[in-house]
Amino acid sequence: MTNAPDAILRPPPFAPARPAAVIFDMDGTLIDTEALHRRAQAETARELGHDLPAEIHNGFVGVHREVNDLTLRRLWGEHADLDAFNARADALFDTLWRADIPIKPGATALLTALSQARVPLGLCTSTRREKALEKLEHAGFLALFDSIVTLSDVEDPKPHPEPYLVSARNLGADPARCVAVEDSPNGLKAAAAAGMTVLLVPDLVTPAPDVATLAHAVLPDLDVVRRWMDAALAPA
């Protein structure tokens, strides 16, 4: 269940026609790793004598590292050793999720139902390919996806629409007939800019109202997403 306030959640409108494909974000959407990432970065920052406020980390969600490093450089100064910070935070993060990969409630049932319904499935993540494939393998999701687009596969990552446009092309689907499932404002912006129907399931970051309006529906959890999908896939 999302920790977003109820005020931002609205009931799903009538589901559109059967989607040509469904494309998922990974971290924070299918795998509950964002909180672990926040913990790893906060602990590492303290060990190195830095402060990493929660509101700063919230801005990292759905954004690739190069941009986040610029934020840290402005926060901590030009002499901060970001290579050391990233290496130590990554090592702690990997230890945490590999010990017991935290799958979002409802994720396995949702992906299995869509796969059994023969809906093409894509994954679109700001994680680099090697690490993304490892997480998906640990979660038991890897074989379910027909396309996996990672940070390693694009020039312009989220919030640019390129990752979602590449996903649709890989799946042979018209972006306008694709449904994207996202948790972050940046992911929502990317999928909406690609022309897709976006279901937003907020995780750590509650989107501003003007950003939330980009979503076709803002839903509390993946169980509700599954009910929405069931309606979209039901015979006319």
Q: Would you write out the chain's pLDDT as a tens digit for each of its 236 residues?
A: 333 333 334 445 555 678 999 999 999 999 998 888 889 999 999 999 999 988 888 778 767 788 889 999 999 998 899 999 999 999 999 999 999 899 999 999 999 999 999 999 999 999 999 999 999 999 999 999 999 999 999 999 999 999 999 999 999 999 999 999 999 999 999 999 999 999 999 988 888 899 999 999 999 999 999 999 998 888 86
Catalytic residue among 27, 153, 183, 203: 27
Query: CB atoms < 10 A from the CB of 109, how many?
Result: 12
- Does 174 participate in catalysis according to the annotation? no
Catalytic residue among 25, 32, 153, 203: 25
Q: End-to-end CA distance of the chain: give it in Å, rounded.
A: 31
* Measured distance CA(73)–CA(28) in Å, rounded: 25
Q: Take residue 62 and report the two structure tokens written for it.
A: 């759905």
Domain ranges of the chain: 9-33+102-233, 34-99
Its pTM stands at 0.84
Q: What is the pLDDT of residue 216?
A: 93
* Measured distance CA(132)–CA(130) in Å, rounded: 6
Longest distance between any two alpha carbons in the chain, whole Å: 62
- Does 6 participate in catalysis according to the annotation? no
Domain 9-33+102-233 adopts which CATH fold? Answer: Rossmann fold (3.40.50)
Task: For Cα atoms 13, 14, 17, give the angle at the middle one, nearest 5 degrees.
Answer: 130
